[in-house]
Structure 1
């Protein structure tokens, strides 16, 4: 029984869309479908999978911009982000046009997520943590059994998410990372929203934003 993942970089912002699946059951989810939907679906099909759900960490265009297009092909539930990011999903048509992305319609997820909610892929349960700061409604997904954290734009290799966007808050971000993420086991693998993977232990020791 193995939980597997594949990182699929999408959009000109090279956002890490994550294909996550349970090898035993064949259940699969796509996390942060920011764009390049034909490519994402081709990579999914290449592994003999089809998406059963979409999970979103937050509402920025490079994470949520491809969801409406995917839903036109697969009628699957969308979970996340927290409702505090509703304003970002409402603004998707204007923001995607502004950045020269394919224009995305606004949408509302099937389920807004809150601290302590649980999502499942196959036999694996993921705890939802609300980590505001990069955006007010940002959530992350943690699977204790798989020792895996899907962190979106909260925590990166030796850095943290930007907080200069509308309704960002640097103090909130640091406080939430420190109190909720750095207390996880040090060998927990962190899949960030951009760039390479890291671990909780590495960030505790080497991330200049999280020292002291």
Structure 2
């Protein structure tokens, strides 16, 4: 299994392609630039199987409909954000100058933690709320990576001043879920560079002294 980071959309949100040797892939958080993303996948003959959303803020969902229609694939989001995709007040887009973002409802709801299997892909879903009520992280044990969305960044954590945000809850999510992963686990965040669990345990100023 391999992965590729693609900053997309108005806030250059990290979209991730997680693919296997058959060139099948999962798309995590396609934040925008749908035509660009589709063109890249077609040029490299990569076949998407599903779209996974770490959460439903506008900068993570902008290309959802373009990609879903192109390959007729399902979109997964946590049940707590079921209505966010189509509601610009919930997904936050109405508060930004980029304009209202609204996409069709999700096809699959993540209703709790556990194993998510799609084709040959197997991911462990962890509920990591705090940045938003339905934030989740996807852990691929075999690949040694976790897609953390906007929960944990290199040297930082997600903002909690948006609707549904809760700072104390986010800190607990990070400590109880993400920091319990193997220290060598690579953290693939919604914004910025990759990091590791070990690095954040040692040097993230928002997590020290908890």
Structure 1 SS opposite 2:5? strand
Number of residue pairs matched? 208
Question: Helix, strand or coil for the counterpart of 1:209?
Answer: coil
- Residues 7 and 33 of structure 1, relative CA distance in 2, 3 Å threshold: same
* Counterpart for residue 85 of structure 2: 89
Cα deviation per residue 1:43-76 (whole Å; 9 max; x = unaligned)?
A: 2223220212111010100101221222232210
Q: Distance in 2 between matches of 1:60 and 1:79?
A: 14
* Residue pairs, 1:46-85, within 5 angstroms: 46-80=43-77, 82-85=78-81
1:193 equivalent in structure 2: 190
Inter-partner Cα distance in structure 2 for 1:60 and 1:22: 28
Instruction: Give the Cα–Cα distance (whole angstroms) in 1 for the partners of residues 148 and 163 of structure 2.
Output: 20
Secondary structure of 1:210's aligned partner = coil
Alpha-carbon offset, residue 167 of structure 1? 1.0
Alignment equivalent of 2:106, drawn from 89, 104, 109: 109
CA positional deviation for 1:157:
0.2
The yes-or-no answer on 1:209 pairing with 2:202 is no
Deviation at 1:88, TM superposition (A): 2.4
Instruction: Name the residue aligned to 1:169.
Output: 166
In structure 2, what is the equivalent of residue 40 of structure 1?
37
Matches of 1:184 and 1:98 in 2, distance apart?
35
The alignment yields a C-alpha RMSD, in angstroms, of 1.9
TM-score of the superposition, structure 2-length normalised? 0.91
Q: Which has the higher strand share?
A: 2
Structure 2 residue matching 1:72: 3-state secondary structure: helix
Tell me the secondary structure at the aligned position of residue 106 of structure 2.
Answer: coil
8 A contact 2:128–2:135 mirrored in 1: yes
Give the gaps of 5 or more residues in structure 1.
none
C-alpha contact 2:128 2:151 (8 A) present in aligned 1: yes
Task: Say which SS state the counterpart of residue 137 (structure 2) adopts.
Answer: strand
- 1:142 corresponds to which of 134, 139, 144: 139
| Secondary structure of 2:2's aligned partner | strand
The aligned counterpart of 2:14 is 16
Which range moved further: 37-46 or 165-174? 37-46
Distance of aligned partners of 1:144 and 1:198 in 2 relative to their CA distance in 1, 3 Å threshold: same
Query: How big is the shift at 1:106?
Result: 3.6
When normalised by structure 1's length, the TM-score is 0.90
The structure that is helix-richer by fraction is 1
CA distance, structure 2, for counterparts of residue 66 and residue 95 of structure 1: 16
